[in-house]
Structure 1
Amino acid sequence: MTPTLRPAVPADAVACATMHAACWREAYGPYVDAALLEERLGDTARWTAAWTRHLVDGPPRVLAEADGEVVGFAVAGPAREEDPPTPYELYAIYTRAAYWGTGLGQELWEAVRPDGPCSLWVLEANERAQGFYRRNGFGPDGARELYAGLGAWEIRMVRR
């Protein structure tokens, strides 16, 4: 079934936390230490609590659903950095690996794309994700930092 998009609501927190963790395994597994990744994903209650908090207090999140299962999401909002290069930031965009290359990520991006310049952080080693962002007008701006939670380097990409 073709996924459909809809706004996320607080009742989605458990399903979203489960999907988000699965996306991390699929997207980050090739690039980070497996034990560290599983340590970060092991506290399912923490993931559910974070999703609940974000769905109540955070910017709107758009979900992709297929056959009643959440298979992706995206969220953008005001830049979170102290001295941001752009007024907006793409906080997250994920789909399950089965949907990579289907256009679902593009649909999610279109659903949350801000009306002004936007930045994001992406794992430096993740060429697949960087290619997606390049196709959508993003380019590296030279900023790089260690994502300590995963022990992996990230780069910032900006879309003017």
Structure 2
Amino acid sequence: MLSIRPPTAADAGRLAEVHVRCWQEAYHGILSDGFLAALEPAGRLPLWTQLLADPPAGSLWAAYDGGTAVGFAGVRPVPSTAGVEPPAADRELWGLYLLASHHGLGLGGRLLRAALGTDAASLWVASENTRAIGFYRHFGFRADGAADLVPEWENLAEMRMVRPGQAGISG
């Protein structure tokens, strides 16, 4: 049974595994094989332990298949990015990842709706990640011209997408 719910502290280990595997799937061909091979769940576990220790209401959602986490979405207030004009939205989707084995089942859209509803928001997406860009466009996000490089991720080029609040988005 596929479901969406807020994760609990007990999910930290599995979400660390999902986080790494999703990165390896989503960024294959965008980041080097060596970079992706070096990612390990143990490196993400402190992040997930901290995130799940006392998450603000509505900030974290996970997708489950038969009780096993297979994806997640996280929202936060928009952080300031040096040299980049802030977006009009005050909420940022900092991550939405779903294992490739679960693409095409509607879980990504369900995660996005759980995390944001139809509220205005922004996000950063790898400029070469055409699948993700298409997904976000489907849900009303558009590139706003802001771009950035992430040096610690092999100078990954990112673009910002924004969405005004829209009551009619259904996806």
Instruction: Give the structure-1-normalised TM-score.
Output: 0.90
Using the TM superposition, give the Cα deviation of residue 149 of structure 1 relative to its aligned residue in structure 2, in angstroms: 2.6
Residue matched to 1:61: 60
Is 1:84 aligned to 2:86, yes or no?
Answer: yes
Contact 1:87–1:116 (CA<8 Å) still a contact in 2? no
Is 1:52 aligned to 2:54, yes or no?
Answer: no
Say if 1:132 and 1:122 are closer, same or farther in 2 by CA, change over 3 A: same
Residue matched to 1:112: 115
Residue matched to 1:9: 8
Amino acid at match of 2:8: V
Q: 1:129 aligns with which of 99, 122, 132?
A: 132
Residue matched to 1:73: 72
Aligned residues: 157
Cα RMSD over matched residues? 1.6
> Which stretch of structure 1 is more off in the superposition, 138-147 or 106-115?
106-115
Distance 1:115 1:133 in 2: 13
Contact 1:77–1:114 (CA<8 Å) still a contact in 2? no
Distance 2:55 2:43 in 1: 16
Distance 2:46 2:74 in 1: 17
Residue ranges of structure 2 left out of the alignment (5+ in a row): 165-171
Residue matched to 1:18: 17
1:85-114 Cα shifts (integer Å, max 9, x gaps)? 121101111110011122110000000115
Distance 1:147 1:69 in 2: 31
Is 1:156 aligned to 2:163, yes or no?
Answer: no
Residue ranges of structure 1 left out of the alignment (5+ in a row): none
Percent identical across equivalent pairs? 39
Contact 1:76–1:88 (CA<8 Å) still a contact in 2? yes
Is 1:147 aligned to 2:150, yes or no?
Answer: yes
Instruction: Give the structure-2-normalised TM-score.
Output: 0.85
Distance 1:23 1:116 in 2: 25
Contact 1:88–1:114 (CA<8 Å) still a contact in 2? no
Distance 2:149 2:102 in 1: 28
Contact 1:33–1:150 (CA<8 Å) still a contact in 2? no
